[in-house]
Structure 1
């Protein structure tokens, strides 16, 4: 890490107190329920790293607030392992460790903040391996007893976030990281919606390892044939979010050195559903 370059970008250290001021200026409020995505290096030099960012968020939200992150499972079996030669499949089925909400490492794809949050005392994580973690007053309400099938639907953490009047915060993270738009995909009624069936080892009620099958929208590639509506090589969530911002949905500001955004989850999901249903007209 080049601390000097980060300091120059952010005009000095992005301390906890500075983060608190700038998050409040962006529009974050005490008592908010917030899903957040962070590109830590985009903020500049943050003394203390992820734990400083989480502490600042918790200070702004106060005791009545709640933080939500997508955690995932970094070591889940590949979705296509069921197409491998039979002996290889059998080896995986016999010995692949089970997903453990307490111990299994979250995905590396979303940076360091989600893993830092899920390891904090009091954090809760879904027993569903396509996992979310939460910390704060509404943590259990967001991540407890998630249904196996359709975890991105109304009964999953994102549906609960919307129902609770939650918000979505991007701290320097690009618009394509808006996981909440997977909930819009789950709700949208448009042709050619793609689902996948996953098989994963989990801990059963008695603590023994069992294989569980579940189905969900295709979040690995794309849930719809977006090529009919967005330029090649552009992630559709970027286009949806840009158009939402152009219509006045969401707030923009700077936190540290990073362009940041704050959305009302319900408003963004509603826009996303309408956008999908308007633009996806064929399989």
Structure 2
């Protein structure tokens, strides 16, 4: 991205659509999008325009998907950002997750707007929700077990079944949520589960529920994606607005990364 976001001039929805098509985003595709609005330059209409461009590009038969995670609702012990003496109070007073109203955190302005759109469907996981809009949205978001936020039973598993695409729109491969599914499939030293929890409504009563989930990492996501690109030639890149974008096929990426993690971690 240029230092001055205005250096590339005003970025219109029409320009974004043209750039996305040049990148190779197929009409009718299911696409999991990770994006930074700021990286795209001075977009006329901001996040609203980016969403319009994405939906126009995939068309009425396509489905747009975004992570809409709400880390603020995690167990305080999992986050380890507050003194342990605070944790009982935090657990007692954390809000219940509400797909309609719980804001996403660290997902960016585009994803936060996307989850509120008419027709968007959000999965039920209180921390790692996925939102989708389009013909495959209900199927993608139907199941999201507490103890499987990024495994086979999560929306990520469905996205692989659908031969979805990953679109990195002005962000690095470190943001590729689909690679967490590869971590589930891989076998590597130190692989372990970690405790987490959330306030859940059980039979109409608010309860604190705890579970074990895979401890995931993203520090080698850029390296595995670069290796995938070099070994397969399946990564398409192009400028979108003032930023750089990459388009990756999810199934081959996850398959490759599962083997790579098993031999490189």
Q: Is residue 188–residue 273 contact of structure 1 (8 Å, CA) maintained in 2?
A: yes
Q: Secondary structure at the match of 1:213?
A: strand
Distance 2:20 2:123 in 1: 27
- Kindly state the Cα deviation for residue 37 of structure 1 after the two structures are TM-superposed: 0.8
Q: Secondary structure at the match of 2:11?
A: coil
Asked if residue 252 in structure 1 is aligned to residue 249 in structure 2, the reply is no
Alignment correspondent of 1:44: 41
What are the ranges of 5 or more consecutive residues in structure 1 without an aligned counterpart?
224-234
Distance 1:135 1:77 in 2: 25
How many equivalent pairs are there? Answer: 259
Asked if residue 267 in structure 1 is aligned to residue 260 in structure 2, the reply is no
Asked if residue 7 in structure 1 is aligned to residue 13 in structure 2, the reply is no
Q: Is residue 100–residue 203 contact of structure 1 (8 Å, CA) maintained in 2?
A: no
Alignment correspondent of 2:84: 84
What are the ranges of 5 or more consecutive residues in structure 2 without an aligned counterpart?
none
Q: 1:93 to 1:142 in 2, by over 3 A?
A: same
Q: Structure 1 length normalisation: TM-score? A: 0.86
Asked if residue 75 in structure 1 is aligned to residue 72 in structure 2, the reply is yes
- Kindly state the Cα deviation for residue 4 of structure 1 after the two structures are TM-superposed: 10
Distance 2:203 2:18 in 1: 45
- Kindly state the Cα deviation for residue 84 of structure 1 after the two structures are TM-superposed: 2.0
Alignment correspondent of 1:228: none
Q: Structure 2 length normalisation: TM-score? A: 0.91
Alignment correspondent of 2:109: 112
Distance 1:176 1:94 in 2: 33
Tell me which of 220, 228, 237 is aligned to 1:236.
Answer: 220
Alignment correspondent of 1:175: 173
Q: Is residue 117–residue 123 contact of structure 1 (8 Å, CA) maintained in 2?
A: yes
- Kindly state the Cα deviation for residue 146 of structure 1 after the two structures are TM-superposed: 1.5
- Kindly state the Cα deviation for residue 106 of structure 1 after the two structures are TM-superposed: 0.6
Q: 1:4 to 1:249 in 2, by over 3 A?
A: closer
Alignment correspondent of 1:128: 125
RMSD: 2.0
Asked if residue 142 in structure 1 is aligned to residue 126 in structure 2, the reply is no
Q: Is residue 152–residue 216 contact of structure 1 (8 Å, CA) maintained in 2?
A: no
Tell me which of 39, 63, 67 is aligned to 1:66.
Answer: 63
